[in-house]
Amino acid sequence: MNKQIKNIAVLTSGGDAPGMNAAIRAVVRTGIYNGLNVFGVIQGYQGLITNNIKPMDARSVSNILHLGGTILKTARCLEFKTEEGMAKAYQHVKENNIDALVTIGGDGTFTGAKIFSERYGINVIGIPGTIDNDLAGSDFTLGYDTAINTVLDAVDKIRDTADAHDRLFFIEVMGRNSGCIALRSAIASGAEVVLLPEQETTIDDLIKKLELGASTKKSSSIVIVSEGHKKGGAFEMARQVNERFKHYDTKVTILGHLQRGGSPSSFDRILGSRLGFAAVNALIAGETEKMAGLIGNEVKLTSIHDAITTQINKLEPDLLEMTEVLSI
Ligand code: F6P
């Protein structure tokens, strides 16, 4: 049965991702356009627990489309994982007469949202916001495209100095369990090798590829290492290569959190706008425990359960093949 929704709240939780502000803006304005009252929760689930909830109006989301981060702030909230924490959050949801939530984040955010919805009957729609692109139910997550562009900007610069000094650079990029950022950045930057969590690359394979490059007169090389690479990060891989080949002039760069910041790309601004708009329309239509995602350039709803439990490997097979072919 459709629950009449009057008051909704939006929050961002987990790691921030460029494009979250576009999604917040779309949620607020779509809600107001449809006669709803919209609240913003500060610092994700932490803000529900501490009652840091404020009314939003159309102007409260002016001039934020181009901003990285999230105007609502975010947190990885351990207390929300406890029964007491969730009960406190529900108390404040009730006090503020909030009927439904839009939660923007990754798998941790959605796991919390699902339990909260099941336990307290609050309707919830999720928007996938994580640079890792590691959720089922959306070809792209918010922030992924911008993060790749940020990586590229850095790798292009490193390429200049690598070439000038004839050096071998190991560049580590984010992606806890997902090689999506690494793979796309490797293709777009022309990296010689990419090391992914989803693929087994032995030190012998890596050395073979580097030696092949050297034998065909490559003077410098870029190896992109995903932080989730099972055999070690950039420092470890560089150490192992140097142990065997002392003559390589090896350098390491960890790109780290700079990948999460910066102005969102047009793709992420549009994606955030589409998903925010769709999330509110889904709540109005009485949907709950769904995630709004982009599949084949169409906005579709997937159950949150499927989004967080379906085993996925989003590495495009043609891109994987190209990492071998185009780097000779
Ligand atoms: O989930 C996105 C992500 O950026 C991962 O790629 C990375 O491992 C993690 O967040 C870092 O989290 P934190 O900012 O909490 O250290």
CATH number of domain containing 191:
3.40.50.460
Residues 38, 161 within the same domain: no
- What pLDDT was estimated at residue 40? 98
**Alpha-carbon 85 to chain mean position:** 25
Cα angle, residue 234 at apex, residues 231 and 239 outer, rounded to 5°: 80
* CA-proximal residue: ligand 1, atom 6 (nearest): 175
* CA-proximal residue: ligand 1, atom 12 (nearest): 15
What single letter denotes the amino acid at residue 203?
I
Residues 250, 208 within the same domain: yes
CA of 258 to the centre of ligand 1 (A): 11
CA of 195 to the centre of ligand 1 (A): 18
Task: Note the pLDDT tens digit of each residue in 187-237.
Answer: 999 999 999 999 989 899 999 999 999 888 988 999 999 999 999 999 999
- Whole-prediction pTM: 0.97
Which residue among 99, 132, 145, 268 is the active-site one? 132
- What pLDDT was estimated at residue 1? 45
Q: Find the mean pLDDT for residues 108-112.
A: 97
Residues 185, 301 within the same domain: no
Domain hosting residue 193, numbered range: 145-260
Say if residues 244 and 207 touch (Cβ distance below 8 Å): yes
Task: Note the pLDDT tens digit of each residue in 136-153.
Answer: 999 999 999 999 999 999
Residues 174, 252 within the same domain: yes
Residues 137, 161 within the same domain: no
* SS3 at position 103: strand
The total domain count for the chain is 2
- What pLDDT was estimated at residue 3? 67
- Cβ neighbours, 10 Å, residue 254: 16
Residues 241, 251 within the same domain: yes
Please tell me the number of Cα atoms within 13 Å of 61 on its side-chain side.
27
Residues 194, 304 within the same domain: no
Give the number of the atom of ligand 1 that is nearest the alpha carbon of residue 134.
1
The CATH number assigned to the domain holding 124 equals 3.40.50.450
In this structure, what DSSP letter does residue 264 have?
P
Residues 240, 157 within the same domain: yes
Structural domain contains residue 2: no
Structural domain contains residue 282: yes
Q: Find the mean pLDDT for residues 110-137.
A: 97
